Amino acid sequence: MNLLFVGDIFGSAGRKIVRAHIGHVCQANAVELVVINAENAAGGFGVTPQIAEDLFDLGADVLTTGNHVWDKRELIEYISSAPAGSQERPRRVLRPANLQRGTPGYGVFEGTTHSGVGYAVVDLMGRVYMTGTNDPFEAIDGLLAAIQAKVIVVDFHAEVTSEKVAMGWYLDGRVTAVLGTHTHVPTADERVLPGGTAYQTDVGMSGPYDGVIGVEKDLVLHKFLTGMPGKFEAAKGNPKMCATLVTCDAASGRASAVQRIMLGE
Ligand SMILES: [Fe+2]
């Protein structure tokens, strides 16, 4: 079976380019499972319930997030509205699994595709140069012990390449895919590791590439050049959808192929 992971949607430019491409990519590849990282979908900061609903309408099965998950406070009520066993849309919006105890929402979703394949999606956040997270390696061990599905997709939302590469090796043979997000620049290291886990350090942002990781370049340059604070706004130019297509065996969850996708206007 084929699954598609769409990298961090950034702002309206990101939403628009994903809307333009996701349908034909899924159709051409008979995609059965669509996971989208949506944590920057609302103007670069968080995701609103309405945008989440729009992404589900486009075909997303599960939405993942990261350090920006609480930027739009209305999302807290949305994801808190679903009980743990629910299959409804609010339950399919994940926050990182290894946040501090007492955090609302869930970091894992288990569901079934239209053809009856059980799957799990895990949202995990790194600890190096990031705050508020517990040890992701310890966290994933506990989560995997409880997951029933064989097809398991891990979004590893982390800052540094070394932590991401290490997680790929740690989970090789134990999950279907470890796909990195957060740094917004796609990496060319996609591969299937020897144990059958598809890996990529960063899927890349689905958003405006004529900016600085999604933000208007002049605003970011001003901050670097003067050290003065300023309001960041989402860029618009040169939008691209970055996604990664993983082919795996539905029965074992073992990946056999991984392909990087980047589509512009
Ligand atoms: Fe992030």
* pLDDT tops 90 at residue 45: yes
Produce one character per residue of 4-32: b if its CB has 16 or more CB atoms within 10 Å, e if not: bbbbbbbbbbbbbbbeebbeebbeeeebb
Which residues make Cβ contacts (< 8 Å) with residue 130, sequence separation at least 6?
67, 158, 159
Q: Which of 57, 54, 56 is nearest to 42 (CA)?
A: 54
Strand order in the sheet with 177-181: 108-112, 118-125, 151-157, 177-181, 198-200, 191-192
pLDDT above 90 as % of the chain: 98
Distance 39 CA to ligand 1 centre (A): 7
Distance 251 CA to ligand 1 centre (A): 32
Question: How confident is residue 178, by pLDDT bands cut at 50, 70 and 90?
Answer: very high
Distance 66 CA to ligand 1 centre (A): 5
Question: Looking at residues 63-78, what average pLDDT do you find?
Answer: 97
- What are the helix (H) ranges across the chain? 11-28, 49-57, 74-80, 136-146, 161-171, 217-226
Ion ligand 1 residue ranges (Cβ < 5 Å): 66-67, 182
Among candidate residues 21, 68, 157, 184, the one labeled active-site is 68
Q: Is the separation of the CB atoms in 214 and 234 below 8 Å? A: yes
Looking at residue 136, what is its pLDDT? Answer: 98
Mean pLDDT, all residues of the chain: 97
Active site residue 24: no
Q: Is the pTM of this model over 0.75?
A: yes
Distance 116 CA to ligand 1 centre (A): 32
User: What is the per-residue pLDDT across 80-128, written as a single tens digit (0 to 9) for each?
Assistant: 999 999 999 999 999 999 999 889 999 999 999 999 999 999 999 999 9
* pLDDT tops 90 at residue 2: yes
